[in-house]
A and B are shown apart, each in its own frame.
Chain A
Amino acid sequence: MECYSLLRADVPALIDHLGKFGEVVAPHRKGDVSYSFESVLDSSQVVLDYNRTLLPLKKLFLPPVEKLMDFSLKNMSFDPVELTTQPRVFFGVHSYEMQSILRLDHSMLSGNAESNYFKRRKNSRFVGISFEPDDFHFSESVGIAIEEMEGFDLFLNEIDDDFQLYVLSDNGRSLIQGFKQIRTVEAELSGKREFKKKIRYHYNRLPRIFQYAYKSKVWADVAEKCVGCGACTLTCPTCFCFDVTDEVSVTAEDGLRQRTWDSCMLSTFAEVAGGENFREKTINRTRHRLYRKFKYITDEEGLPWCVGCGRCTAFCPAGISLPDIVNELIQEDEKAQYHHTVRV
């Protein structure tokens, strides 16, 4: 692997250099204890050690609110937004976040490709960075190592406070062309960092757990605490549900159509004409959320649709933990297996 050493102090210079390709987006501080992906205005403000951003990188490919068209009631005409995109470099991206983009690619681009997503997605470059797992990360349990480099053009691996820079694609090579503050070294993939949070089973055993978990008692316990605020799904990097609404201006002559992120955890999500609601109870919604992560899509694609970023857990006001739910389902399954064996 093509590998260079890079001093921590030289990272802002690297970010400035990446700016030659296009807009650079990177993690910044936000509020008291949080982070968010923002456009880089001053490379010294970019944060290299962060746990997770409030919203995932998804927000820059599938924006929370997006205008789709203008329309005129007067002329009975409409005018779709023709999106033009510029090259962008996403810097300081964690491996689970990159994996979430690859999963979103699948959701958005297979079959009928979502054109705005596609336009934003092409012309994108990704520069990864290693991270120190906190109490909520569990990406290793869903098969994503800290140094998983799939999807990245470049990757910064922190070693003894400085970095090793791996070049992973031709695009990556041209990104650093002419950048002088690096020198060739031997790659040493550390593997020293430990995850505190784990799912007890390998992820390839989870579909079987979920196959028998539909009637589990665990769902009711979760539903008792869950207030249905939607934070878990709205901040999830692999969730993609949205709603489309028309807004008419005060002149009542024109307006716009927009789409807005929606969430299956909201009690209105599955409400249909006539007032029927086929997932009215929290218990059904919580179960649905986890089945979307570990069963429905997984059955088709062979991968968990959760990347272990820990957002749903870290941002749940009720402290509901997704890996804990999965571990409880595993435990319940083990008990059932045990009973069965004893009786036979």
Chain B
Amino acid sequence: MKPQVAFFDFTSCEGCQLNKLNLENDLLDILKHVDIVEFREAMDDKADHYDIAFIEGSISSPSCVERIHDIRRRSDILVALGSCAVNGGINAMKNLHPIDEVRETVYGKDKYLFATLPAMAVSSVVKVDYEVRGCPMNQQDFLKLLIALVLGKQAPKYNSPVCVECKLKENECLYNRGMVCLGPVTRGGCDALCPSFGQFCTGCRGILSNPNLDGMLEIMTNHGISLDEAKKRMLLFNSNEVQL
């Protein structure tokens, strides 16, 4: 029997799900390997057990916690899809402010009607077996992981900086063009997408496992931005990962 696969979304923009739907060319090939049993944006169907559950979005309310526990209980393999699910992503910037202030800004006087929690990575709440990084999640990564799982092989892991792929493509470094780039401490695997189009890396795939953050901040401030601004850039996608 083909593996039963489901997709769920939590606190996110749902961009990752849309990114999957954009895989038109490969969608039919994917469906040869797996049965999709739950996918809110594509179909409406419920099941008791999933071989693989893909989770998009961060965990940011008590109801999210309850739901993710329920999904984990019904799933053999659980995969975090995209920055929000992997490390809290952009949502986690919320955690840099007092939670009461955040609630008031968003809900005004109705703030007591909405229970909220700090925006957490899925792995902060339940066991996560694999991850697909990026904001939105990288399509090729997603396909590679899916194929690896179907074949029962080791899933690819990325723990080399964006600079590696950037150099292999012989891009002119943005530091030579007066920009400030987070590539040196950001996990690659995106084929240096942003620098290849002249845009600096904002760190959407998360920070390396063994980074030199002080060194990175020094590079950034030596290239013309304030320490405050440098820290803000580093926190954009990684508020939960780095302590500055």
Query: Which residues of A are in contact with B by a Cβ distance under 8 Å?
Result: 30-34, 36, 54-55, 59, 64-65, 73, 223-231, 234-235, 247-252, 260-261, 263, 266-268, 280, 282, 315, 317-319
Contact = CB atoms under 8 A, between A and B. Distances in A.
Contacts of B169: 64
A317 B173 contact: yes
Given A229-B163, A318-B215, 14 more contacts: A36-B170, A73-B151, A224-B212, A225-B215, A229-B183, A230-B160, A230-B164, A231-B184, A234-B163, A248-B153, A249-B147, A250-B143, A250-B147, A261-B168
A231 B219 contact: no
A30 B172 CA distance: 7
B151 A318 contact: no
Q: Is the interface of A mostly helix, strand, loop or mixed?
A: loop
B243 to A, nearest CB: 17
In the complex, which range does the number of interface residues on chain B fall in?
Answer: 35 or more
Contacts of A31: 171-172, 176-177
22 contacts: A31-B171, A55-B167, A55-B170, A65-B168, A73-B151, A225-B218, A227-B216, A228-B210, A228-B211, A229-B161, A230-B160, A234-B164, A248-B148, A248-B153, A250-B26, A251-B29, A251-B32, A252-B150, A252-B151, A263-B164, A267-B210, A280-B210
Contacts of B112: none
B176 A33 contact: yes
A263 B165 CA distance: 12
B79 interface: no
A233 to B, nearest CB: 9
Contact of A260 (B144, B168, B170, B181): B168
A34 B32 CA distance: 47
A31 B32 CA distance: 44
A277 B108 CA distance: 51
Contacts of B209: 267
